Amino acid sequence: MEKHIKGSLSTIVLKLLDDNGRMYGYEITQKVKELTSGDIQITEGALYPILHKLEAEEVLSAETEKVDGRIRKYYRITPKGNATVVDRVAELRAFAENLNLILNPKPLFNN
């Protein structure tokens, strides 16, 4: 599953942040696990570089908060990032639909 997820990871992260407002790294990994009943597991090694890249591109903004005596970094989508989310989600949806057409081709002739 992991190799199929790789290219769509940033879109998954963006969609989750769009739905949930703000989230921190560990929370994102757990949310994906929960939504897919453990079928999709985002590795931490792949998640954080994507978060940092999107932050550098100003698609995400980060804010820190002290929680239980430690610093937690929350990410949220910037106004500039909103358009990116719409585009990427639409792109991924179209890809999934096309993939579905290939994997489940309709019979040419119905009896």
**Binding stretches for other proteins (CB under 8 A):** 24-26, 43-45, 48-49, 52-53, 55-56, 61-64, 67-73
Cβ-count burial 54-93 (b if 16+ within 10 Å, e if not): bbeeebbbeeeeeeeeeeeebbebeeebeebbeebeeebe
Tell the smallest beta-carbon distance from residue 11 to other proteins (Å): 19
Tell the smallest beta-carbon distance from residue 78 to other proteins (Å): 11
Tell the smallest beta-carbon distance from residue 85 to other proteins (Å): 20
